[in-house]
């Protein structure tokens, strides 16, 4: 048996059409300001250790994130920074709603829909019989703008699905978004990918060409290890005449029904999300479909020679997204194949538990007595972890229902803290009352070290994650003139906290949030809307100047830009007050 890697040519074409911006990866503008930023960073690093020697409460901003205790977190962060750098560079040229890297999950779902529709359309020409299947597929090439085009769309959309879903999975893994309550999304995602892979494996079987014969014998080798059939299944593939047509029909119906199971898995995958981006928007979908059509017309899906069970095929090209196991099935026994599969499945499925260290509970709870039943946290929670339940404590006249947080769903993002006017959400590791007390203490006239003091609220997943801070005093060597409080998410900030800092005498307030593909989804957007007065609770513009607030949405790789903009904001405010 010979396997030819030549089929990889259409992957390069597919990637080129979907990712026309790949040149951005090799073009990163350099200017004098960037060079000066780098030199400033070096100066900061040279003097940092001298400053640190006098501090006793040193913490990294990234430690405020609930999943910061993951095993291998440093390695994950390094790779995650490359993903975010890729997002940041390409976002200069491509809007977020059309961004293949950020919308990878939605693109995968769109490709699945295309594959399902084209699969049903192929039934017009395809004959699900072992005796006529191959001829019906070959005859499609006589209809290049109907049958052949639809078959090519079916194949390339299936490949594109696997391409984007794997990219999405790698991004999620290196961002650490699989631990705690997110285990369900991780497990259902794995199951969904396996279902589609197996469906693609069976789909190639239905062509009944040389590849299909290899798939059939490889499948039989694994099934014969299991005590299912009285007679070995591989006996059905000894000669062309011995193949059972009923078995071929079973494969056909399995191929048609597996997408239903996939749909259930995807529903469970996003069931805990509030406003999930399940599929791409209309314009982006048209663009993707157009790309598929171009690839399909230029490079129609191929077909090998007819299946011949009496001889070993030679120089067969394979689709590596679905047929890579053929390399193993031709060389290993069924028991060994099962061992590889089970060990791999258990290892990948166990990631949420293997990589998580024991850490104290960080999930928030609702103080039922304080809760006024306004439902704002219920609407703001990105993970549908909050429900409204009948009140059991407190004044029943205040409200009939109160908020309740389901600990099995909550990911400890703290966005509900920023939603709550009566401060009824108790966040164990970062109490809003504690932060208020710190702000009051830092800005007290007796404790001030500078005339014009600035406050910074920094998300541990944003560009400010590398900051090293004295948690007691808020001092930060990288940001002179700022007193820094670290947060799990920018959405944790309630507008009254910003107002309080300004009222107590802060010259300005900086808030740092994530830019692209935030770890806690909607939190950064919710805060931006609150500051602009477009979402409750609103920042009161009639009492405080919005110009005294700088909201930076920058990702981890943009640390130098973050420091530069923070100092420019401070400089502009000081200049204005002279």
391 and 256 in a common domain: no
Neighbour tally for 79: CB within 10 Å = 14
Of the candidates 524, 484, 519, the one whose C-alpha atom is nearest the C-alpha of residue 501 is: 484
Of the candidates 122, 279, 297, the one whose C-alpha atom is nearest the C-alpha of residue 203 is: 122
CA Rg value for the chain: 29
What's the confidence (pLDDT) of residue 340? 95
Structure tokens at 500: 């309080």
Answer whether residue 121 is part of any domain.
yes
Which H or E element spans position 545? none
What's the confidence (pLDDT) of residue 507? 92
Bridge partners (DSSP) listed for residue 356: 70
Domain stop point among 354, 381, 405? 354
Q: Name the pTM for this structure.
A: 0.84
Answer whether residue 408 is part of any domain.
yes
What's the confidence (pLDDT) of residue 2? 54
Answer whether residue 50 is part of any domain.
no
Q: Confirm if 45 and 332 have CB atoms less than 8 A apart.
A: no
What's the confidence (pLDDT) of residue 10? 47
Q: Which residues contact 402 (CB under 8 A, 6 or more apart)?
A: 366, 368, 371, 373, 388, 389, 390, 391, 394
What's the confidence (pLDDT) of residue 515? 87
174 and 101 in a common domain: yes
What's the confidence (pLDDT) of residue 451? 64
Answer whether residue 119 is part of any domain.
yes
Q: Confirm if 7 and 319 have CB atoms less than 8 A apart.
A: yes
H-helix segments, 368-447: 376-380, 415-419, 432-442
Number of independent structural domains in the chain? 2
Answer whether residue 59 is part of any domain.
no
What's the confidence (pLDDT) of residue 32? 38
Q: Which residues contact 84 (CB under 8 A, 6 or more apart)?
A: 516, 517, 555, 556, 557
Domain stop point among 290, 320, 354? 354
Structure tokens at 104: 């990878």
105 and 202 in a common domain: yes
Neighbour tally for 396: CB within 10 Å = 10
327 and 380 in a common domain: no
470 and 323 in a common domain: no
Q: Which residues contact 136 (CB under 8 A, 6 or more apart)?
A: 125, 126, 127
Q: Confirm if 181 and 383 have CB atoms less than 8 A apart.
A: yes
What's the confidence (pLDDT) of residue 238? 59
Of the candidates 557, 438, 571, 425, the one whose C-alpha atom is nearest the C-alpha of residue 510 is: 571
Residue given tokens 């409200």 in the structure block: 399
Structure tokens at 269: 């995958």
528 and 387 in a common domain: yes
Answer whether residue 145 is part of any domain.
yes
Domain stop point among 354, 382, 410? 354
Q: Which residues contact 269 (CB under 8 A, 6 or more apart)?
A: 184, 185, 188, 189, 192
275 and 135 in a common domain: yes
Per-residue pLDDT of the chain (578 residues; tens, 9 = 90+): 455 544 444 444 445 544 444 433 333 343 433 434 444 444 444 444 444 544 557 878 888 777 667 888 889 989 998 998 888 888 889 888 899 999 999 999 999 999 999 999 999 999 999 999 999 999 999 999 999 999 999 999 999 999 999 999 999 999 999 988 899 999 999 999 999 999 999 999 999 999 999 999 899 899 989 887 777 777 776 566 667 788 899 999 999 999 999 999 999 998 888 888 889 999 999 999 999 999 999 999 999 999 888 787 778 888 999 999 999 998 899 999 999 999 999 999 999 999 987 665 678 999 999 999 999 999 999 999 999 999 988 777 788 899 999 998 998 899 999 999 999 999 887 888 889 999 999 888 666 666 678 999 999 989 998 898 988 888 898 998 899 999 999 999 999 999 999 999 999 999 999 988 888 888 999 999 999 999 999 999 999 999 999 999 999 889 999 999 999 999 998 888 76
Q: Which residues contact 275 (CB under 8 A, 6 or more apart)?
A: 382, 522
What's the confidence (pLDDT) of residue 450? 60
175 and 139 in a common domain: yes
What's the confidence (pLDDT) of residue 239? 63
Q: Confirm if 52 and 468 have CB atoms less than 8 A apart.
A: yes
Structure tokens at 414: 């703290």
220 and 245 in a common domain: yes
Answer whether residue 547 is part of any domain.
yes
393 and 529 in a common domain: yes
Reported for 278-282, long-range contacts at CB under 8 A and 24+ positions apart, including other chains, are 278/106, 278/109, 279/106, 279/109, 279/110, 279/113, 280/103, 280/106, 280/107, 280/109, 280/110, 281/97
Chain centroid offset of residue 258 CA: 24
Answer whether residue 58 is part of any domain.
no
In angstroms, the CA 209 to CA 135 distance is 10
Domain that holds residue 232: 3-21+94-354
330: domain CATH number is 1.20.810.10
401 and 297 in a common domain: no
560 and 502 in a common domain: yes
Q: Confirm if 307 and 210 have CB atoms less than 8 A apart.
A: yes
């Amino acid at each position: 048996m010979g396997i030819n890697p030549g089929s990889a040519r259409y992957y390069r074409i597919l990637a080129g059409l979907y990712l026309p911006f790949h040149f951005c990866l090799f073009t990163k503008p350099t200017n004098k300001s960037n060079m000066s930023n780098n030199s400033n960073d070096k100066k900061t690093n040279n003097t940092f250790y001298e400053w640190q020697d006098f501090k006793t409460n040193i913490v990294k901003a990234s430690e405020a994130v609930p999943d910061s205790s993951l095993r291998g977190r440093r390695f994950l962060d390094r790779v995650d920074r490359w993903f975010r750098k890729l997002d940041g560079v390409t976002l200069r040229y491509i809007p977020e709603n059309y961004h293949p890297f950020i919308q990878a999950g939605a693109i995968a779902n769109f490709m699945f829909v295309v594959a399902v529709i084209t699969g049903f359309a192929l039934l017009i020409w395809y004959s699900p019989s072992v005796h006529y299947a191959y001829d019906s597929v070959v005859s499609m090439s006589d209809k290049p703008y109907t049958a052949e085009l639809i078959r090519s769309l079916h194949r390339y959309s299936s490949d594109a699905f696997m391409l984007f879903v794997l990219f999405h999975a790698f991004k999620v893994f290196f961002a650490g978004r699989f631990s705690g309550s997110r285990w369900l999304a991780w497990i259902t995602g794995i199951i969904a990918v396996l279902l589609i892979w197996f469906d693609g494996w069976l789909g190639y079987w239905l062509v009944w060409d040389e590849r299909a014969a290899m798939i059939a014998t490889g499948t039989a080798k694994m099934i014969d290890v299991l005590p299912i059939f009285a007679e070995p299944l591989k006996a059905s593939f000894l000669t062309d005449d011995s193949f059972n047509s009923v078995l071929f029909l079973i494969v056909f119906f399995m191929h048609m029904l597996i997408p239903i199971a996939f749909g259930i898995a995807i529903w469970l995958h996003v069931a805990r999300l509030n406003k999930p981006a399940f599929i791409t928007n209309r314009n982006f979908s048209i663009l993707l479909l157009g790309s598929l059509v171009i690839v399909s017309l230029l490079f129609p899906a191929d077909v090998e020679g007819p299946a011949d069970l009496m001889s070993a095929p030679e120089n067969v090209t394979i689709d590596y997204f679905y047929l890579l196991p053929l390399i193993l099935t031709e060389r290993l026994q069924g028991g060994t194949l099962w061992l590889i599969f089970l060990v791999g499945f258990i290892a990948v499925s166990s990631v949420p538990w293997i990589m998580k260290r024991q850490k104290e509970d960080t999930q928030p709870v609702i103080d039922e007595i304080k809760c006024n039943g306004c439902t704002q946290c219920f609407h703001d929670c990105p993970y549908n972890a909050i429900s409204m339940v009948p009140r059991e404590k407190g004044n029943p006249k205040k409200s009939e229902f109160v908020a309740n947080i389901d600990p099995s769903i909550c990911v400890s993002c703290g966005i509900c803290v920023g939603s709550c006017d009566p401060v009824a959400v108790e966040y164990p590791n970062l109490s809003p009352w504690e932060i208020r007390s710190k702000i009051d203490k830092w800005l007290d006239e007796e404790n001030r070290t500078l005339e014009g003091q600035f406050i910074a609220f920094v998300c541990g997943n944003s560009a400010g994650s590398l900051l090293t801070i004295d948690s007691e005093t808020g001092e930060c060597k990288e940001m002179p003139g700022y007193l820094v409080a670290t947060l799990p998410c920018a959405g944790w900030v309630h507008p009254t906290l910003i107002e309080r800092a300004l009222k107590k005498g802060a010259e300005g307030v900086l808030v740092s949030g994530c830019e692209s593909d935030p770890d806690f989804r909607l939190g950064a957007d919710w805060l931006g809307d609150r500051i602009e007065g477009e979402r409750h609770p609103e920042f009161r513009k009639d009492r405080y100047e919005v110009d005294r607030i700088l909201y930076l949405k920058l990702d981890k790789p943009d640390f130098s830009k973050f420091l530069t903009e923070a100092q420019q904001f401070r400089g502009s405010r000081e200049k204005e007050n002279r």
